[in-house]
């Protein structure tokens, strides 16, 4: 039987797992790569945490009632304090749901809500693991909420925008983002992970950032930089699993760049602006 000839099947590109994906195994975790969940999942966990804290505070106050009464404190006053504490603990969750339903919060209130959503993420992630919720699904929901809460900040940093892309993008997606950055007149950079991204943001000090990456890297970046400057996130698609030939929705990236321009107060580029400098640091 003759040997098979003419086979041109190409070997898959090597996979270089980033720090956020160490321990990932295709046989155990599969190739689930795209999530379409809105902010409701994260808000549900945030609300559950708020209810738990409010209930715990009320229980502690109830247990302390005999001692408070012995100290001459009016029970009605202690109950009023308990209600006030519970209301304060539940207020951020209620306001976030209100924002989801159409209420608008600007200025200090908008920034405070964003910080409240960010501060609750570690506890929400622990609760999500106990409920067997995918960390990427939870991260996608959190990022959707953070994008909605992004508000216009006072002009700071340099005048330009920065588009960050991961080195694992497919060649087609990389070309699309390069062209989009050139069209928008913004700085374009390819980074290999969170440390490179942080260093580059510190060096360039942009007025606003659009970051394209996996949910795990984006969550870390948004938690660190959101609030100091407008930061919008766009999760990639991973049809071959993490860190290899990921894809990005170019139209979604274009829409986010336009919104970021308004949030950062950056004017539109001149029609014949020179292509921006490419700071690609990887493949």
CA distance 146 to 144: 6
- H or E stretch at 163: strand 161-166
161-205: pLDDT as tens digits: 999 999 989 999 999 999 999 999 899 999 988 788 888 998 999
Domain with CATH 3.40.50.2300 in the chain: 161-264
Q: 188 — alpha (psi -120 to 50), left (phi > 0) or beta?
A: beta
Report the pLDDT value the prediction gives residue 34, as an integer from 0 to 100.
64
CATH entry 3.50.50.60 includes domain 161-264: no
pLDDT per residue over 245-275, tens digit each?
A: 889 999 999 999 999 998 888 887 765 455 5
């Amino acid at each position: 039987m003759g040997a098979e000839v003419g086979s041109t099947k190409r070997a898959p590109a090597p996979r270089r797992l980033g720090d956020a994906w160490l321990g990932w195994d295709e046989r155990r975790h599969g190739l689930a790569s795209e999530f379409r969940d809105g902010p409701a999942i994260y808000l549900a966990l945030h609300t559950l945490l708020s209810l738990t804290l409010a209930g715990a505070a009320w229980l502690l106050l109830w247990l302390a009632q005999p001692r408070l009464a012995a100290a001459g404190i009016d029970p009605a006053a202690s109950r009023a304090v308990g209600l006030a504490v519970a209301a304060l603990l539940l207020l951020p969750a209620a306001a976030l749901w209100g924002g989801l339903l159409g209420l608008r919060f600007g200025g200090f209130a908008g920034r405070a809500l964003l910080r409240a959503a960010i501060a609750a993420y570690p506890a929400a992630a622990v609760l999500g693991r106990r409920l067997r919720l995918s960390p990427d699904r939870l991260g996608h929901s959190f990022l959707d909420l953070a994008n909605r809460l992004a508000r216009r900040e006072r002009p700071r940093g340099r005048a330009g925008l920065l588009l960050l892309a991961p080195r694992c993008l497919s060649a087609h997606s990389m070309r699309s983002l390069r062209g989009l950055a050139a069209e928008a007149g913004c700085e374009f950079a390819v980074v290999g992970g969170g440390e490179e991204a942080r260093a580059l943001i510190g060096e360039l000090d942009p007025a606003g950032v659009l970051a394209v990456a996996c949910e795990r890297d984006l969550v870390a970046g948004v938690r660190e930089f959101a609030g100091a400057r407008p930061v919008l996130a766009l999760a990639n698609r991973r049809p071959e699993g993490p860190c290899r030939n990921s894809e990005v929705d170019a139209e979604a990236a274009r829409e986010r760049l336009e919104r970021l321009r308004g949030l950062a107060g950056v004017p539109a580029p001149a029609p014949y602006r020179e292509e921006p400098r490419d700071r690609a640091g990887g493949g």
